[in-house]
Amino acid sequence: MTKPAVCAEYRNYIRKKWLALLALAVFLLVSCVLSACAGSSGLSPREILLALFGLGGDTSRTIVWNVRIPRIATGAAVGAALALAGCVMQNVLRNPLASASTLGVSQGASFGAAVAIVYLGGGVSLAGSSAGSITVTNPYLVTLCAFLGGIATTAIILLLSRMAGASPSTLILAGVAISSLFTGATTLIQYFCDDVTVSTIVYWTFGSLGRTNGREIALIALLCAAAFLYFFANRWNYNALEGGASTATSLGVSVPVLVLVSLSVCALIASVSVAFVGCINFIGLLAPHIARRAVGSDHRFLLPAAPLVGACLMLWADMVSRTIAAPTVLPIGALTSFLGAPLFLYLIVKRRAAP
């Protein structure tokens, strides 16, 4: 093949990847619009459009700007963060089943948050008689403890991989064991708590996009953006790591440092997300696989694609949770697990069936 032909083929390859990213971005925009229209309030698309521009009735403006827009922003930010963490974890651990939930990072963060709520002054307050009005009085302390819990889990995983020479499959099994350990510890904490505190922890662990404020949304988004910049700056290192640790080392990549820092950043964004919205499983596991089908394994395109897919998955799961049993809002964490498990099994079957 001549050099001009090779160049033309490469340009065509790049063009297809950019078109796929553009399609994902457009689909995310459409998902945001549909999410703004979904709900039990009965607002028409025209009323929602007027409310977005500050027009229409007070009720429609309140619903759109105080309820739906924050919910959409939370869903997009958390979905992007979990998907980004899962994408990088799968690369540095060389395991397609790696994610914050399968490695126990989310469960460790949940344990840390429960400790903060019960013992360290995170506390709870009652604004009314319903469970939905129970709020955490010091969310940033909860966030810090959730991060420490996620980091502790990450440290255990790294220790196993370094000292015991654990294989990628063994690390996933270790993650399952660590998840059970932290889940049991969280259950013991709940056993000795009063009813209000138990209700707070249980309601929090269900997963909800409707209890964040503007500062919390901004914090999740900023941390996710900073993590993305770090990951994207190392995109060529992740591509080298696709060929194995020895190949990456021969190309000048400091693999131990890359793995350590990458997993720490993944633990940070996953733990902060869990601290504010609760446990939401399968988004970080599923989104990178869907993104790979759209743009391939080149991290120049996979790193932007995975957050876009994660945000879309989160928004659609939230739309289903708000509409399938309206006016009741189902726990989004339970819904993502229920819908994500069979879809992930389907991806595994398709992967094995591929020639």
Interval 325-353: pLDDT, tens: 777 788 888 888 887 777 767 766 765 55
DSSP annotation of 99: -
Note the pLDDT tens digit of each residue in 276-291.
Answer: 888 888 899 889 989 9
pLDDT, tens digit, 9 for 90 and up, residues 210-234: 778 888 899 999 999 999 999 999 9
Exposed, middle or buried by CB within 10 Å (0-12, 13-18, 19+), for 324? exposed
Instruction: Answer yes or no: pTM beyond 0.85.
Output: yes
CA distance linking residue 259 with residue 88, whole number of Å: 9
Q: Which two tokens stand for residue 194?
A: 């009063």
Mean pLDDT of the chain: 83
Model confidence at 167, pLDDT cuts 50, 70, 90, reads low
How far is Cα 152 from Cα 106, in angstroms, rounded to an integer?
11
Cis omega (within 30 of 0) on the bond before 4?
A: no
List of domains in the chain: 78-353 (1.10.3470.10)
For residue 241, what are the CA distances in angstroms to 92, 93, 255, 299?
7, 10, 8, 11
